[in-house]
Amino acid sequence: MVLAAERDDDRRLEVADVESGLDAASLPSSAVDRQDSLFREAVRGGHHAGAAGHSEQDSSWRTLRLAFQCVGILYGDVGTSPLYVYSTTFDHGVGHPDDVLGVLSLIIYSFMLFTVVKIVFVALHANDDGDGGTFALYSLISRYAKVSLIPNHQAEDELVSSYSKHGKPSATLRRANWLKHLLETSKSAKISLFLLTILAIAMVISDAVLTPPISVLSAVSGLKEKVPDLTTDQIVWITVAILVVLFAIQRFGTDKVGYSFAPIILLWLLLIGGVGLYNLIKYDVGVLRSFNPKYIIDYFRRNRKEGWVTLGDILLVFTGTEALFANLGYFSIRSIQLSFSFGLLPSVLLTYIGQAAYLRKHPEHFADIFYRSVPSTLFWPTFILAIAASIIGSQAMISCAFATVSHLQTLSCFPRVRILHTSKRFHGQLYVPEVNLLLCVAACLVTVSFKTTTIIGKAHEICVILVMIITTLLMTIVMLLVWRISIWWIALFFFIYIPIESIYLSSVLYKFTHGPYIPVAMSAVLMMVMIVWHYVHAKRYKYELKHTLSPKRAQELLEHHDLKRVSGVGLFYTELVQGIPPIFPHLIEKIPTIHSVLVFVSIKHLHVPHVDASERFLFRQVEPKEYKVFRCVARYGYRDSLDEEAEGFVHALVESLQYYIRDVSLYSADEMQNVSYPISRDQSLSREKPSGRHAVYAEEMITPIQSFSELTTLSNGLSNRLPQFQASKMNIAELAKIEEEQKFIQRETEKGVVYILGETEVVARPQSSLLKKIVVNYIYSFLRKNFVQGEKMLSIPHGKLLKVGISYEI
């Protein structure tokens, strides 16, 4: 296939320039975004940088602006954890005065080890071209090893500029190749990796259900301090009202929400940090001894099993930190590290230290330690900010859930839902109406059902620890396969985090019936939906791949004497990226008519965050050429939006198709035979790259001419610019013929475009097992019928839509 590229100067990026060491500040922001994850600018997909100084100034300003937004979007959940951590950990009271020091020491070192070191300063660098989270790790691994369970990989995909790979020699490369071979050849390894990924994703969505109730409920409960007559049911319904408002404002978008929330969270962090410092000085400066880890050892010696059981409660300290990594696509590494190090970290640690100092003097106040430790004159400001901060604390997980569902659809693991991009400036900011409604209903049900934060808090713990363990496992694979760093660093990372996280997990599982069963049950339902949808999708794809039309059969259909041609362009949508789908002869059989120009269009998501518009389309013409039948693959990244008007898509496709017709006609047939196909990215990049406008081909990187009139004015310099072309051998008549073909495509487009969509019904074979029949005929069928249809996902005008029904037995 040949990639027909748009020729916009402002989209030009030569890979050779990047490899030659060109300063990042002089590159367009899109070029900077494609750098290795350890070399990331804060500018994320915007506009061209001007002079180097202006670019640096603009980058710094954008980093500060994103850092400000980080506070509102990411830190509300972590910042409101002091509302309930001590009361949950000491739910049976403080047994020994030094237990406070032991728990504080556990809080400090757990927070530093898991949040600061692992997430903020290690995991954020294990991103996929600027996007973080479990799915991004899986996508990054998928680029370096073919682990997808759907056989739709194409060699041309590796020519996409953001699909870059970096190799290292010697032992690290041998280990990477061994792991790559294992992942690609072992079906059990592929399935295990897939299941780990969707388990983590399901836990994140479940956490998004639990975070709003516990955050808001814990804050509203403070009213009892001033209004003792307030009943539990009244507190619950106040919480439900606040949750409804929170989910209702999601439609305004993360960009607007972030700016409105950030000042509130900043005030909250300053307030709780200041109160913590006040309590430290007033009650017991000696709690600073907790920085000595010996108090952790003493704590376990005294409490033994009870101490081990409380480990799960310590996880509540950093609930929500998984959203820091998953929501990286909304912001940048620098902005998160800046706001975390100088905003969240000192405030939260001072709060826990101050509460510990208060508990040393008043251990009997363990149940409501947060509000008890606040000076009476500051109660109402603290309460109001606590309510606001707890609302905002849910925002990170809600945003994370939206991004997660978007990613699931690119994996073909979730039924179709409409995904709206709420910001034109920051591509990662999403809103999913159906998911928002489901989260709202589930959160309200959890609140009404359990009424207190105790069970919800216990349920939180298993979400946090399972996501942490899976992140560690996937990061280890990334270190071996992608980073290819020293085995000693990898072993150090793995053997520090996996044993410690396993101990935390054992503590959580011990209390399974006291709360953790809730997210496990929700995750089981979500995983069932994901597995069923992906299983049937993969089976259907393999069925279509097996029954694709042979070139001879396709030619017979097109040359059949009963086949009529009608004016206009037909876009036949199919998920198959290889060959002509079996539904096409079914259409010809029912309606023996095709359009003057017919294009089989496949929408394909690559394992990259973004695909540049100039690299969007791949084309191949179906023989015989005079019938003007083409195959097209439209490639998107998993963060690219499909929410564009159909007319805009058609315009881009037709323009690229015209370039394809021109360039493939100019290409020398003799030289086409000398080009190896498929060609690897490394081979392609080793060739000389001409400057100026360019198109990326599966076979070669070339520089097409801007217009046909330009060909007639060029003389001796033509062969130097286009050594691969036979243009110098072509006469004016042949060039005019090519131009006429382009005009023909344009004229047919102006006559009208019809969108042909396959409506495929999938059923299990009669001899299939009972389980398979239930999965395919009932569960999958229910999901397919009750979610958004394909034409709505693709914004296809209803009046120009033609559906073709067919049934497959798998």
What is the separation of C-alpha 587 from the centre of its chain, rounded to a whole number of angstroms?
37
In a domain, 604, yes or no: yes
Q: Which amino acid is at 796?
A: I
Answer with the one of 489, 512, 536 that is the final residue of a domain. Answer: 536
Q: Residues for the chain: how many in total?
A: 810
For residue 157, what pLDDT is reported?
74
Please, what is the average pLDDT of the chain?
79
For residue 550, what pLDDT is reported?
84
Q: Give the pLDDT mean for 393-409.
A: 82
The answer to whether residue 760 scores a pLDDT higher than 80 is yes
- Name, of 38-47, 110-119, 648-657, the range with top average pLDDT: 110-119
The overall longest dimension of the chain from CA atoms, in Å, is 96
CA torsion 770→190→127→251, rounded to 10°? -10
Using CA atoms, how far apart are residues 306 and 441, in angstroms rounded to an integer? 36
**Residue 329's pLDDT band (boundaries 50, 70, 90)?**
low
Do 338 and 258 lie in one domain? The reply is: yes
Do 419 and 567 lie in one domain? The reply is: no
In a domain, 206, yes or no: yes
Do 239 and 266 lie in one domain? The reply is: yes
Do 532 and 555 lie in one domain? The reply is: no
Do 528 and 575 lie in one domain? The reply is: no
Do 318 and 398 lie in one domain? The reply is: yes
**Residue 256's pLDDT band (boundaries 50, 70, 90)?**
low
In a domain, 350, yes or no: yes
Residues 645-699 have pLDDT tens digits of 667 888 889 888 888 887 777 664 444 333 322 333 333 333 333 333 333 333 3
Do 429 and 496 lie in one domain? The reply is: yes
SS3 of 318-382? HCCCHHHHHHHHHCCHHHHHHHHHHHHHHHHHHHHHHHHHHHHHCHHHHHHHHHHCCCHHHHHHH
Using CA atoms, how far apart are residues 25 and 33, in angstroms rounded to an integer? 11
Do 306 and 359 lie in one domain? The reply is: yes
Coil, strand, or helix at residue 427?
coil
DSSP 8-state symbol, 35: S
In a domain, 26, yes or no: no
In a domain, 36, yes or no: no
Answer with the one of 506, 536, 566 that is the final residue of a domain. Answer: 536
Answer with the one of 486, 509, 536 that is the final residue of a domain. Answer: 536
In a domain, 48, yes or no: no
Using CA atoms, how far apart are residues 73 and 422, in angstroms rounded to an integer? 15
- Name, of 72-81, 186-195, 422-431, 718-727, the range with top average pLDDT: 186-195
Instruction: Determine contact, residues 700/7, Cβ cutoff 8 Å.
Output: no
Q: Between 254-283 and 345-361, two packed helices, what is the crossing angle to 10 degrees? A: 40
Do 581 and 506 lie in one domain? The reply is: no
Using CA atoms, how far apart are residues 349 and 339, in angstroms rounded to an integer? 15
Do 530 and 568 lie in one domain? The reply is: no
Residues 51-60 have pLDDT tens digits of 344 455 567 7
- Partnered with residue 434 across adjacent β-strands are none
In a domain, 324, yes or no: yes
Please report, for the domain that includes residue 296, its CATH number: 1.20.1740.10
Give the domain extent around 487: 70-156+184-536
Tally of structural domains, the chain:
2
CB atoms within 10 A of CB 298: 18
The answer to whether residue 69 scores a pLDDT higher than 60 is yes
For residue 625, what pLDDT is reported?
82
Do 301 and 207 lie in one domain? The reply is: yes
The answer to whether residue 792 scores a pLDDT higher than 60 is yes
Using CA atoms, how far apart are residues 789 and 795, in angstroms rounded to an integer? 10
Task: Pick the range with the lowest mean pLDDT from 246-255, 420-429, 468-477, 547-556.
Answer: 420-429
Do 104 and 125 lie in one domain? The reply is: yes
Identify which has the larger pLDDT, 10 or 348. 348
The answer to whether residue 147 scores a pLDDT higher than 90 is no
In a domain, 408, yes or no: yes
